[in-house]
Amino acid sequence: MDSQQRLEDNYLRDKKRLAEKEERLYQQKNKGMQALDAIAEGSHYYLKDFATDTMDIRRGMHQLEEIKEELAVQHRKEQQRLDYEMEELTLDYRRQQRTSSEQEASL
């Protein structure tokens, strides 16, 4: 196996690994959002008849919304990190590919 092929294989393997991380991140975010939605729905359903002051329910719902927003912010940060990692991987691959081509041409 020549160096160009090995380089490409490594790049594709790492690219696939990052794509899998991205998919897991997306699934975790969705699972978290669904869990928070279920908590909000269940809380509202069960507590609406027992709460003497609806402000308490609204405050709780507001806190759940804040948690959802924080989850979304963390997801965006992690997504940006993965995007940066993918860009660096691609740039490094192209750099190594160019260097390898130049070395082969000089032989």
Query: How far is Cα 61 from Cα 45, in angstroms, rounded to an integer?
Result: 12
Predicted pLDDT at 58: 87
Domain range summary for the chain, segments of one domain joined by +: 22-101
As a whole number, mean pLDDT of residues 98-107 equals 82
**Please, which residues have CB within 8 angstroms of residue 60's CB and are 6 or more apart in sequence?**
43, 47
The larger pLDDT score, comparing residue 46 to residue 37, is at 37
Instruction: Encode pLDDT of 18-35 as tens digits.
Output: 999 999 999 999 999 999
Q: Which amino acid is at 40?
A: A
Name the average pLDDT for the chain.
91
Least confident of 1-5, 11-15, 16-20: 1-5
